[in-house]
Structure 1
Amino acid sequence: MADSGPFRVRAPPRSGKAVPAGPDVRQYLQMARDVHLLPKAHLHLHFTGSMRPGTLLELADKYGVHLPEALSGGEPPKLRATDERGWFRFQRLYDIARSCLREADDIRRLVREAAEEDVRDGAQWLEIQVDPTSYAPRLGGLTPAMEVILDAVESASAETGLGIRVVVAANRVKHPLEARTLARLAVRFADRGVVGFGLSNDERRGFARDFDRAFAIAREGGLLAAPHGGELSGPGSVRDCLDDLGAARVGHGVRAAEDPRLLARLAEREVTCEVCPSSNVALGVYEKPEDVPLRTLYDAGVPMALGADDPLLFGSRLAAQYELVREHHGFTDAELAELARQSVRGSAAPEEVRTRMLAEIDDWLAGPDLLR
């Protein structure tokens, strides 16, 4: 390791300046460009999980819902979902939070506040993921629930200036026929802002191929296929997303790092992995932030879109993911800018929006830093 003035530095990666190692990293971080100002797209954010903790407390009080200490204590809950019991606890907390969304005004508030948080973090485009069956019983049925959600998205986008679209997600632990119903619903609302179709919940349950017909319906209707895979299960689940569901994006996908051939395939096909480093650590997929194989994916040429997943439960939002990558993986500003570009390219944003965002990312990188 060589000396360079006050910094001990690693040899630079493929682009950009070297990043300091050891105790000097804090001084470096104070001098680097502000990632909150970096234009970016947010492609992996779950609906209930986007809620502000304070909003959850207020809604729980409004409806008389008792919140466990894990949701009311002011700190992110301690979670580890790599076994069945841990995943059950995570899902239970999520379900309790979701039970506090009961009226159209609650939905509108959630989407508006999620948009405000993303704007604060530099996002210019958001694709929020929702399973409308979770809200249908309280909002008058599946179609009325979808209309409430899309009305909220339209209003929040107008109020904040953030481009917002919706990915409708089926639940992997429910019957595949329900997924087909949701796929048809998603296609029906494609002209109202639905751009994709996903598959969430515990990927260790069942087989991706059970949902192939639902994804065929969605793809035939012009929607982007974005199922979860490669988080709690290994690289095989990513391959299943590609082979059985025709995935154009993969939710998480980090376990693909365990299979060099799969990495090459993702890179060749330009399949974007929606990587959520904070949630990977919070759920026990990896022990420490530096264990998340971000550099492996990046160096293999796999496109990535950093996401916050469920900030309500994991305690950090979008800009924090970029800060984590900088601090724990040594990504330079040039590489962070490339991650932002990859998020834009992997999105369903209109071409004019992409062009503008890519130009503004270049402007961010061309701006001053104190290391020049």
Structure 2
Amino acid sequence: MAHRGDDDEGGAREPAPRKLEQLPKAHLHLHFTGSMRHATLLELAERDGLHLPDALVEDWPPQLSAADEKGWFRFQRLYDVARSVLRTEDDVRRLVREAAEDDARDGGVWLEIQVDPSGYAARFGGITPFTDLVLDAVATASREVGIGMAVVIAANRTRHPLDARTLARLAAQYAGRGVVGFGLSNDERRGRTQDFAPAFAIAERAGLLLVPHGGELLGAPSARTCVEDLHADRLGHGIRSVEDPRLLERIVEQGVALEVCPVSNVALGVYSDPTSVPLPELLAAGATVALGADDPLLFGSRLAGQYATMRAAHELDDAQLAELARGSVRASAAPESEKSGWLGEIDAWLGG
């Protein structure tokens, strides 16, 4: 009997797919609270006697859709509930360390974790003390776990643009001291993206990477606004830029990387299933793509899971997966000397 993978004559067996957890990769799209382990959420809630909704307990991961305002409100409510379990400095340090451990286990060599300090300021003494705490936790976890780490400070689209300027100035103060980028998150359908341009100008003058969310819920026009008005270096998601060929061509020409999070795209109803996520079209156009997990706490899939999902959905070969990993490294804020070493390790993974 021929073994599985043998040809009809009992000849050479096709090589097994390489292990994705061994593929070096950078993680550029991971939200702070959303990085929390589910088990940690349950443990911290039990410690303080906090009641969690069923969607975060026995029905986890929750069934989500952001196709309308009600769906996004439910998603945001679950995120806010999860954030409420972070009550002490040790909780914050634990979250950061576990995020580092999880990425390292998935082959991550560099992690940029995104946080809006204003969402935690009331409990931790203000945006500056909280930022200090996060940066110290990141430095400690990076050193002890052995993974490169940095912070992206993000403003909230649902708040006033003046609040975003405050956060941009905060980010600028920490440029070169652990903060590498400035972002804009939450529901794309809220607020006017153009109104946040002054905040991004502050971050741009400080030399930070500009990484707003766009091109997901509102499609290609929101991605265009991020590129034209906010001068985006990377687009959080950016997946629906594929719907505007001229915009996609511009993105490729300008080297704007796309932080594609396929599992969350499907969970939020942007696409019906993984095979509908237009990753092959982006790659065929020459776009730089970095796969990200977005919010594993709510979507149930971490970094290597994004690669596995796209491998299965689009029958990606190992050369294509390696190129995705290269794109993530090149688009990161990691030191160039580190990038060179990691790119060599990716080549070794592919040739091994």
TM range (shorter): over 0.9
Compute the displacement of 1:206 (Å).
1.7
**1:46 and 2:59 matched:** no
- The answer for the alignment partner of 2:113 in structure 1 is 128
Percent identity for Structure 1 against Structure 2: 64
**1:217 and 2:202 matched:** yes
Q: Which of 224, 244, 248 matches 1:259?
A: 244
**1:241 and 2:230 matched:** no
- The answer for the alignment partner of 2:52 in structure 1 is 67
Q: What's the secondary structure of 1:227's corresponding residue?
A: strand
**Structure 2 contact 54–60 (Cα < 8 Å) conserved:** no
**Structure 2 contact 258–287 (Cα < 8 Å) conserved:** yes
- Give the distance between the partners of 2:315 and 2:286, measured in 1 at CA: 17
Q: Which of 48, 71, 84 matches 1:99?
A: 84
Q: Which of 277, 284, 288 matches 1:303?
A: 288
- The answer for the alignment partner of 1:139 in structure 2 is 124
- Give the distance between the partners of 1:55 and 1:311, measured in 2 at CA: 13
- Give the distance between the partners of 2:58 and 2:95, measured in 1 at CA: 20
**Structure 1 contact 279–314 (Cα < 8 Å) conserved:** yes
TM-score by length of 1: 0.90
- Give the distance between the partners of 2:124 and 2:20, measured in 1 at CA: 38
Unaligned runs of at least 5 residues, structure 1:
8-26, 368-372
- The answer for the alignment partner of 1:359 in structure 2 is 344
- Give the distance between the partners of 1:302 and 1:169, measured in 2 at CA: 24
**Structure 1 contact 208–240 (Cα < 8 Å) conserved:** yes
- Structure 2 counterpart of 1:110, one-letter code: L
Q: Which of 204, 207, 231 matches 2:189?
A: 204
- Structure 2 counterpart of 1:172, one-letter code: R
Deviations 1:58-83 (A, max 9, x none): 11112221100100116300001111
- The answer for the alignment partner of 1:19 in structure 2 is none
- Give the distance between the partners of 1:75 and 1:197, measured in 2 at CA: 31
Correspondences of 1:275-354 after superposition (within 5 Å): 275-354=260-339
Correspondences of 1:107-186 after superposition (within 5 Å): 107-186=92-171
**Structure 2 contact 213–237 (Cα < 8 Å) conserved:** yes
**Structure 1 contact 47–128 (Cα < 8 Å) conserved:** yes
**Structure 1 contact 166–193 (Cα < 8 Å) conserved:** yes
- The answer for the alignment partner of 2:41 in structure 1 is 56
Aligned length: 343
- Structure 2 counterpart of 1:38, one-letter code: L
Deviations 1:139-164 (A, max 9, x none): 11111011011111011001101100
- Structure 1 counterpart of 2:332, one-letter code: S
Compute the displacement of 1:358 (Å).
0.3
Deviations 1:27-53 (A, max 9, x none): 98x910001000000000000000000
- Structure 1 counterpart of 2:54, one-letter code: E
Q: What's the secondary structure of 1:251's corresponding residue?
A: strand
- Structure 2 counterpart of 1:103, one-letter code: T
Deviations 1:239-294 (A, max 9, x none): 00001100000000011111111111111111100000000000110000000000
Q: What's the secondary structure of 2:155's corresponding residue?
A: strand
- The answer for the alignment partner of 2:21 in structure 1 is 36
**Structure 1 contact 51–114 (Cα < 8 Å) conserved:** yes
- The answer for the alignment partner of 2:10 in structure 1 is none
Q: What's the secondary structure of 1:149's corresponding residue?
A: helix
- Give the distance between the partners of 2:44 and 2:140, measured in 1 at CA: 21
**Structure 2 contact 329–339 (Cα < 8 Å) conserved:** yes
Compute the displacement of 1:192 (Å).
2.0
Unaligned runs of at least 5 residues, structure 2:
8-12
